[in-house]
Structure 1
Amino acid sequence: MRTEIWSSLRALLSEAAESGAARGAAEELERIAQSSDDELLSLLVMLREFVSPNPAVDEMLERTFSALGQRIASPAAGSRTIDDRLVGELLFLETRLFPQRRSRAMLLRALAESNSETALQALADRLVLQPLPDQASAVTAMAPLFRRENLDWTALFPRLLDTLEFAATAVITLDFTNFLVREHLAIQHPATERSRDLIQLLGALTQRLHGLEERPPQTAEEARRVGQQVNESVGLIISVIDAVALIGDPDAVGKLRQAIELRHRRIRTEAAAALIRLGDAQIGREHLAELAKFPIARLRAIAYADELEVLDAIDDQYRDESARAEAELVCWLADSAQFGFPPRQCELVDQRTQYWPGYEEPVQCFLFRFEYTLDEGVYSNIGLVGPATFAFSADLADLPIDDIYSAFAGWLADHEEIFEIRAEQFTEPLRAECAR
């Protein structure tokens, strides 16, 4: 078997093993896209020599498996089927890779890119026999399944459902089964036979979260640990609620009524929508109407009410443009990239329709004053909704309204003739203009 065509990549892997540093291998990895199955097989055989705990080598392997996955997914690969010999060699490598290494998740991703029945069955089997270490790895490995056209998803089941036993893969597996039903790729929910188990899991998760709500943490360390437990449980319970609703099992109603009494608004919203789907419309309608009062939950509550044809349950004042705009800003502020939680107060300051850079027609614009209570004291500022949802870190609260709009317009404007220039590069006329 010819392995000399991979001599450059072999040299880079050897260098990484010796020096502990991974160098770029763009040219070598580009070769993979044009390689035949026989050449790829020789590559995988060569990689046997470099399975090690060395982080630099693992980084190189991760890049290599990523390139292999792209080759399988490329139009040149036709139906995305791969030679069973390649599947066998990938499995040989996978069983020898260290379970915690990122390269293993990327190797499994390459299998997920294939439409080969053998590859998909192997993927499901390995996810069960050697569970992935965390949710990030699970997303890496399984993400291609959500993007695939003509996916032979039946090759994954029922084996893939066994991954529900593991925290790292349970959420994405359920999300995938729910995706198949929502996209009308599966007539019956793949987890229908596990409905009883899912209902029991829903009850257990509800009890766990209720217990955490009733026992507030006493120390910073305990707060961190409890926060992690809550985050893990919330993601899973949302996926479980969605699954039992799509399965359509009326036996889930009792557990859903318990879940809807939790304090977490996202869980309450999902449970309300699920109850409506399962025929318990009155309780579901009442809770969606109540949740729409809270900006952080409003948009999702309205979306579900619209989808389930119960929009009349929500008061008009929470469905108008300004109420939706308020909800958009609050959700933006609550994102982990911003404050991570909603403001304690948000009120409309100005609303107008006006021309805006980048738009040919006038745009509806909203300004809101929001307020947070932080350890350092009270923080208040102005946020924009309309052409964009945004807030500065600098305080704009004392500026005139027109100046606030100008600040947002100038900062957000994007045009090929707009550019930045350093102050020391100003010409004399520019300096004079700035001084003026």
Structure 2
Amino acid sequence: MAAPMLFTIFLGVIVRFFLFNSSISTWLKDRVEISTPLTSWKSVIEGITLLQNGVSPYSGDVFHETPLVLYFFHQVLSAASWLVPVVFVSLDLVTAWILYKSAGNCLKYLLVNQSKESKKYAKDVDKLLIKRSDVFDLPRLVVSIYLLNPYTIVTCVGQSTLVVTHLAVAAVFFFTSNGYRVAATLALAAATYQSLYPAMMIVPCCMHLFIVKEGIAASNISYYSSSALRSHATIAAMFVGWLGCLHGISFLMLDSWDYLISTYGCILTVPNLTPNMGLFWYFFTEMFEHFRHFFLWVYQINVFIYTAPLVIKLWKHPLFVMYIQCAIIAIFKSYPAYGDTSVYLALLPVWYHSFSYLRNSLVVGVMFILSSILAPILWQLWIYSGSANANFFFAFTLVYNTAQIFLLTDVLFAFLKREFALVHGMKPVDNNGKLKEVALK
């Protein structure tokens, strides 16, 4: 392992432990931008306290975390309270390592696929090609972005249980890119069990695992052949089986299915309108009650509906579809926080070969910085000083989510533009792919 990467890991660990041992840690636990009603450490403590006193944590509206996470942290706290920071930092380190391996696997796959398709490429596209050195250099950048990303750091120090979701989603990329069916479906089941929305990733997961099984270029794959349909059915059955096992274990722990209403019911029906960095809370606070169910369906379907057009357009690139889905979940889920950006921002360098066509990098960067700085300030003015109102805070949640949408659409545009340029060249072309005469004025 290269010295710069070791230094990055060391720095990431030191920063986290330093913040854990400062008063900032307590402050971060209360921030609505970092912890949501589903992922708050305070709710975990309350759930554990209720469990220790023989009361079901899911009997009220206080605790919304999954049973396995509840019992995991119960065991950690029973062993020693000082283990909690160690566990959170360790989970971040493991996630960083998995993302490192995932990025390497993705780049290897893209490089192999590029060599198979190279005969179709134009002559002037060297700038757009993946190089062998990228397979070693870009994963190190992925680790650096994840461990030193302020959003990831505050999520860890604020003891948000999002770190568990990060680990599961990173494992989905790792095992899927490796072609490990059983492990990939288990990781996806764990991510779905934890957060529900990753269930949509089963579609690109099935597609990529079939490509790996066939061992040929994605452009030559037929997803509707009998062998493909059998493969999809097998993978989907594995996923459902693993998810059933996780829920079965949860039932055995609690001897009740009450947790389903408190976890997934909370995600889907959004009963808790505590302000966060998402789009749901403000809209449903202002909503007339008789419209609520209709717009709940609209908002929830909005998260999942993009899977169909993405798969249709990007059927050759299921790993990229999974990446885009991560960003969509971070934007449109019912209870988002800063930490939801951690995985997809860390994996952004995997698509470095498309960056020539990015158009909004400066705008996106400025919007992220402004929203990250001003959202906490306006929360303070609204809640504590009384000199602002909900509109001020919500304005910067809109800026934050708009920045993510700009980034998502920009990366998608750049990826598709690169795909076109690889075949037709980087010079200006008309709608038929023919070179245009460019007049100099």
Same fold at TM > 0.5: no
Higher strand share: 1
Report the TM range for the smaller structure's normalisation: under 0.3
Larger radius of gyration: 1
Q: TM-score, normalised by structure 2?
A: 0.24
